[in-house]
Amino acid sequence: MAAVDTAVEAPKTKNPHAHNRFATIRRPDPVARETKIEAKDVSVIYGTKEAVHGVSIDIPAQAVTAFIGPSGCGKSTFLRCFNRMNDTIPGCRVLGQLNMDGEDLNDHALDVVLLRARVGMVFQKPNPFPKSIYENIVYGPRIHGLASKKADLDEIVERSLARAGLWNEVKDRLHEPGTGLSGGQQQRLCIARAIAVSPEVILMDEPCSALDPIATGTVEELIHELKQNYTIIIVTHSMSQAQRVSDRTAYFHLGDLVEEGPTKTIFEDPQEPRTKDYISGVFG
């Protein structure tokens, strides 16, 4: 993070937390999209280091938004603001406004427990609980009291696994440990687990980085289907994955949102030299 001070040519504004350090290039979208989440001047500070500098972006509903950028650019940190996962890190502060359907997610009075039921998350490494497949799925519904009867839970398990494209593979071994599945299956189990609490938004933090190409393909197809019902934000290091799965792409660089717009536009006609360099593989 020391690089923050060296590589930026734009002058700092008076209040470093108030604005992006230079204007984000915003590319028009040919399709009109309904906004699900609106971020305004969001900054994230770890102790004394600012990892994200006043980022503003609109996340469209029922679409896939990809966050791309080199390591340490703050894209994962920014992603974790959407379900307040940064709260679990000691010394981490989030400034600015994040409105989901008009409600400020960054409000301290907001119940993060309920928020996380609405905004699910899938992590970089598949992290099924060391319980059975069934128990993994019903974990969320149980703690939120969505269902208590066996029949209802069974239905949630079947529906979630079916949506995650895993039902046919595991329906005969629901009571075997989730950790016994293959990496790709584990990741789809984690997606099913997130779906089980009926979220509105699903955050995915490099969901395929621990998977082989075949499992990656399966998960990408799944993402494609899921966007009919959910708003998806995905952080990825793979440029081709961003092109394959996302409708909009946002390019982050050293904590700044450099350029954002329709995926096709960003990849075919990047305006910012840094975006151009990154997607053509000059650095990253």
Partner 1 sequence: MNTFITLAIVLIALSFVYTWGAAASRRVASQTGEKLHSRPPYYGLYLVLWCAIPAAIIFIVYSLITPTIETVIIQSYFPQEVLNDAAELANQTRQVESIAGGFGMFGEPAPYQVQAAAALKNVEWIGKMALVALIAVAAVAGTLVARTRISPEFRARNRIETAIEMLLITCSAIAVLTTVGIVLSVLGEAVRFFTFVNPIDFFLGTSWNPRFSTTGHGGQGDFGLLPLLWGTLMITIIAMIVAVPIGLMAAVYLSEYAGPKFRFVAKPMLEVLAGIPTIVYGIFAAFTVGPFLSTMGDAVGLDINATSAFTAGIVMGIMIIPFVSSLSDDIISQVPQSLRDGSYGLGATRSETIRRVILPAALPGIVGAFLLAVSRAIGETMIVVLAAGNSPVLTANPFEAVSTVTVTIVNQLTGDTDFASPQSLVAFALGLTLFVITLCLNVVAIYIVRKYREQYE
Binding site for partner 1 (CB under 8 A): 83, 85, 88, 90, 112-117, 120-121, 123, 125, 127-131, 139-140, 143-144, 179, 190, 193-194, 197
Looking at beta carbons only, is 55 or 197 nearer to partner 1?
Answer: 197
Q: Distance between CA atoms of 66 and 284, rounded to whole angstroms?
A: 16
- DSSP 8-state symbol, 117: H
Minimum separation from the CB atom of position 25 to partner 1 (A): 32
Minimum separation from the CB atom of position 141 to partner 1 (A): 9
Q: Distance between CA atoms of 74 and 57, rounded to whole angstroms?
A: 14
Looking at beta carbons only, is 179 or 238 nearer to partner 1?
Answer: 179
Looking at beta carbons only, is 195 or 257 nearer to partner 1?
Answer: 195
Looking at beta carbons only, is 90 or 102 nearer to partner 1?
Answer: 90
Looking at beta carbons only, is 116 or 227 nearer to partner 1?
Answer: 116
Looking at beta carbons only, is 6 or 88 nearer to partner 1?
Answer: 88
**Residues, the chain, total?**
284
Contact of 56 with 17, CB cutoff 8 Å: no
Minimum separation from the CB atom of position 83 to partner 1 (A): 7
In which residue are the tokens 């970089």 written?
Answer: 124
Minimum separation from the CB atom of position 136 to partner 1 (A): 9
Contact of 104 with 96, CB cutoff 8 Å: no
Residue 88: Cβ within 10 Å count: 9
Minimum separation from the CB atom of position 113 to partner 1 (A): 5
Minimum separation from the CB atom of position 247 to partner 1 (A): 24
Looking at beta carbons only, is 46 or 139 nearer to partner 1?
Answer: 139
φ and ψ at 110, to 5 degrees? -65, 140
Minimum separation from the CB atom of position 126 to partner 1 (A): 8
In which residue are the tokens 């904590």 written?
Answer: 255
Contact of 101 with 38, CB cutoff 8 Å: no
Over its C-alpha atoms, the chain yields an Rg (Å, rounded) of 19
Tokens standing for residue 3: 């690089």
SS3 content of the chain, % helix, strand, coil (to 5): 35, 25, 40
Tokens standing for residue 108: 């301290």
In which residue are the tokens 């307040």 written?
Answer: 84
Q: Distance between CA atoms of 267 and 245, rounded to whole angstroms?
A: 13
Minimum separation from the CB atom of position 204 to partner 1 (A): 11
Looking at beta carbons only, is 179 or 271 nearer to partner 1?
Answer: 179
Q: Which residues pair with 104 in a beta bridge?
A: 99
